[in-house]
Structures are given as C-alpha cells and as structure tokens.
Amino acid sequence: MGKMEEFITKQTCQGANKVFPAPPPLPGPATNCRRKGSLMKNGSAIRGNICAATATRALWDRLFDGGYKTDVIIKTDNGGIICAHSNILGMASPVLRGMLKQAKGFGHRRPISIHIHGVPQDAVRAFIRFLYSSSYEKEEMKEFVLPLLVMSHTYVVPQLKRVCEQQLEHGLLTIENVVDAFQLSLLCDAPRLTLIAHRMIVMTCKAVRETEGWKAMKKSNPALEKELLESMMDEEHGRDIMMQKEKNRKSNEQRIYLQLCEAMEALVHIFRDGCRTIGPHDKDLKEHQTPCDYGDCCKGLELLVRHFASCKLRVPGGCIHCKRMWQLLELHSRLCTDSNSCRVPLCRNLKEKIRKQSKKDEIKWKILVKRILRTKRIGGAPIFVSSNSNSSP
C-alpha cells in the first residue's frame, strides 16, 4: 500500500471518532446586492450584480462632479468651463479621442483644452455626464434633447443618439419643437425621427405654421418649407379622397341594406298575398292584378322562386341562383317573429337549422340582421309579424 493510501486510511480511521462541523447553510433568496447570475434587460441577458449598475453610475457621477485629477478643460459659450478626464472622453467618443490625440500632437501641455460651442453650457455638461455614467436627468433631457441629439451625432455617441430619438418619439416631440427636430433629423441621419416629425407636421399643419420654428425655417431654408407645403397639400388631397371613398362605401352599404329590406318585404308579400302569377295555393290570382308597390323587386323574386322550384341542383352551392334563394329564405327566418304560422316556405325549418350553425357563421348573420334592422327600423314591422295573415281579396 502506498504512502498516500496509508495516509488516507489513517485519517479515515481517526476521523470516525470525531464530530465534524455542520456544513454551511444553503444560499438563501438573492438580495438586492447578491449576484444572481443572468438578469434580463430589454429582452437580453446581462450578467453581474443587481446593484452594480446603480452603484457604478453613482461612482462615475462622483468622479465627474468631483473633478478628481482631471486633465481636460472643455470650454463652452459665455466663458463656461467643464473639467473632464481624457481617458474617459477618448473611450466614449472616437471624435473626442481624435481631438485629444491631435492636441497632444501639437505639444499642448495638460490640461488640454477642447471647445464645444453653439449649445448651452448645461447641455454640454449633461452630454459629458452621459459619457461618464450613461445616465441623464429627466429634466435635463426634456430641456436639452435637441442639443444632445446634435452632440451625440457630431461626436459619434450612438447610445445617447438612440436615447434622444426614443425620448422624442415617446413624448418630447411637440408642436413647438417639431420643425427643429425635423431639420436636425435630416442633418443627423435619423430616418425614423424624420418620418415621425414629418407625419406630425403634416397632421398638425395649421398649428405648426404658427410656431417660431416654422418662421425661422421659412427664412433660413425656403426650399424645405416648399417641400413641406407640398406634402401638406398632398396629405390634404389624400385625406379628401379617403373621406369621399368612405362616404361612397357607406352610401353603397346603405343602398344594399335598403334593397335587402325591400326584398324581405316583397318575399312576405308574395307568399302571403300573392303577386302577378305566383302566390299561396289558397289564393285566387287575378289576371289583371293591380301592380304591387315593390315593382321590379317583386318581379325578380318571382323569377327566382320559379327557378328554385324547378331547379335540379337545389342544394346550397350547387346553383348560384338557388344559393341566393337559400340566403334570402334564411335571412327572412332570422327576421320573422312568428315562424310557427309564417307562410314563407322553410321558415321554421331554417330556424331549427340556425341553432346548429357554427359560432363564426352566426356572428356574421347577426351583424347583417342588426344592420338591416337599423337601416329601416323594420324589427317590429307588421309585415314580419303578420306574415301568416291573409289580406282581403
């Protein structure tokens, strides 16, 4: 037996008489600062400490606010100065990194000076803070969203650019700033923002044309104003066309429902009173009968009924004319209030069939019946209630 095996055996024999300490407890539920493995953020998995993001951002904010060992001075309008760290600026923005390298190449001593003009100093401070901690204050974003969009594009900070676009899309785009946002979106290569701003300008053209942004654009960029006016005219013309189409559609629907109303009344009239050369078996039809009130509708139904009675393909779907007759009969059965004594053929049988129809078909028929009743308000009309009564000869 080898020395290692003797050692293991000896330790095992000696340990048999010892009391080993209890094992440590199993890990409990994860706290706010406990490592939890994989977290989900915006549908993607991230790893790390749950409170790391908050703590890390607070640390970077303190570093920026405290200005500990800064080596860059950022000069803004009105003599403003912001201190920063060259390593952080260079890692966050390739443009700033190039500017820093260029300044060092010219032999500038530290601290290095960088100039950012054309935007408020507070906007520059919010921009530099985002480079440190990837965070921002809501009030600063609300006030400086457009300058931040410009700087994020100019200094190639895509994360901030996406944030600005999202903030504008979800509430910060207003009638007052939409013209400026539209012009900046064209300059900053933000196609989605361009589309959203253009749509808002077109939809609220009257209010937008009263803003200061529109007046400034009119002076500085008349060609763009002309394009927007043409877009407004096209939109207004398209809106008028759509309104006319919708009006025509509703008019056609109304006409169809009125025709169905007349067809239902004429159907009851034929089988209750008789008309022309067709009617109930116990009704004597006169050769020179006075024309009824339904005219061509009654004549068309008469031809359809005669075809239905003699057609060899009477099953639904076998003949287009028979299929139409089946549909008229079913529609009548849904409108009829007294199928037991109704004189229209198959009225009661079709009511029994309706109870076995699929839910999908039932919904379609209910919608049709509802619209017909609403069109002419015939739900309680005597012609359906008294379809079994005989008129006087």
Q: Can you tell me the mean pLDDT for 42-58?
A: 56
- Digit-coded pLDDT (tens) for 367-388: 888 888 887 664 444 444 444 4
pLDDT of residue 270: 81
Based on its alpha-carbon atoms, the radius of gyration of the chain, rounded to whole angstroms, reads 41
Stretch 334-343: mean pLDDT: 81
Q: Is pLDDT at 178 greater than 90 in this prediction? A: yes
Between 174 and 337, the higher pLDDT residue: 174
Q: How confident is the model at residue 158 (pLDDT cuts 50, 70, 90)?
A: very high
* pLDDT > 90 in the chain, percent: 28
Please check whether residue 373 is in contact with residue 302, taking contact to mean a CB–CB distance below 8 angstroms. Answer: no
What is the set of domains in the chain, with CATH numbers?
53-136 (3.30.710.10), 256-280+293-378 (1.20.1020.10)
User: Cα–Cα distance between 273 and 270 in angstroms, integer?
Assistant: 6
Strand, helix or coil at 337? coil
Among the ranges given (40-54, 207-221, 223-237), the one the predictor scored with the smallest mean pLDDT: 40-54
Give the residue from 146, 391, 360, 154 showing the smallest Cα distance to 268. 391
Residue with tokens 């007349």: 262
Structure tokens at 244: 């006319």
Q: Any residues with CB less than 8 A from the CB of 199 and at least 6 apart, and which?
A: none
Average pLDDT in the 48-65 region? Answer: 72
Q: What mean pLDDT is reported for the chain?
A: 78
User: Of the candidates 286, 321, 318, which has an alpha carbon nearest to the alpha carbon of residue 304?
Assistant: 321
Residue 86 pLDDT > 80: yes
Choice among 305-309, 318-322, 388-392 with the minimum mean pLDDT: 388-392
The single residue listed with the structure tokens 């009924």 is: 305
Mean predicted confidence (pLDDT) in 266-294: 71
Retrieve residue 389's tokens: 């009564």
Alpha-carbon distance 312 to 300, whole Å?
20
Instruction: Using alpha carbons, list the distances in angstroms from residue 223 to 171, 176, 207, 283, 387.
Output: 28, 21, 20, 81, 71
Q: What is the largest CA-CA distance in the chain?
A: 131
Instruction: Tell me how far apart the terminal alpha carbons of the chain are, to the nearest angstrom.
Output: 127
Structure tokens belonging to residue 390: 């005989």
| pLDDT tens track for 238-274 | 777 888 888 888 888 888 888 888 888 888 888 887 7
CA–CA separation, 378 and 261 (whole Å): 8
Structural element, H or E, at residue 194: helix 191-203
β-strands 72-75, 44-49 pairing? unpaired
Q: Quick check: 184 pLDDT over 90?
A: yes
Single out the residue of 159, 169, 127 nearest to residue 144, CA to CA: 127
pLDDT at 340 over 70: yes
Residue 172, classed as helix, strand or coil, is helix
pLDDT value at residue 262: 84
Bigger pLDDT: 140 vs 17: 140
8 A C-beta contact, residue 121 and residue 79: no
| Mean pLDDT confidence for 224-243 | 82
pLDDT at 100 over 50: yes
HEC letters along 96-163: HHHHHHHHHHCCCCCCEEEECCCCCHHHHHHHHHHHHHCCCCHHHHHHHHHHHHHHHHHCCCHHHHHH
Q: What is the mean pLDDT of residues 198-207?
A: 89
Q: How confident is the model at residue 315 (pLDDT cuts 50, 70, 90)?
A: low
Mean pLDDT of 181-190: 93
- Asked whether residue 133 carries a pLDDT value surpassing 70, the answer given is yes
Cβ within 8 Å of residue 125, ≥6 positions away? 82
Mean pLDDT of 216-237: 86
Specify the higher pLDDT residue, 40 or 72.
Answer: 72
Q: What is the mean pLDDT of residues 228-239?
A: 81
The token duo for 228 is: 């927007």
For the full predicted model, state whether its pTM sits above 0.75.
Answer: no
For residue 15, how many other CB atoms are within 10 A of its CB?
Answer: 10
For residue 135, give the amino acid letter: S
Task: Tell which residue, 222, 226, 181, has the closest CA to residue 200.
Answer: 181
pLDDT at position 392 over 60: no
Residue 14 is predicted with a pLDDT of 47
* Number of neighbouring beta carbons within 10 Å of residue 273: 19
How high is the pLDDT of residue 119?
92
Note the pLDDT of residue 286. 61
Enter the DSSP assignment of 171. Answer: I
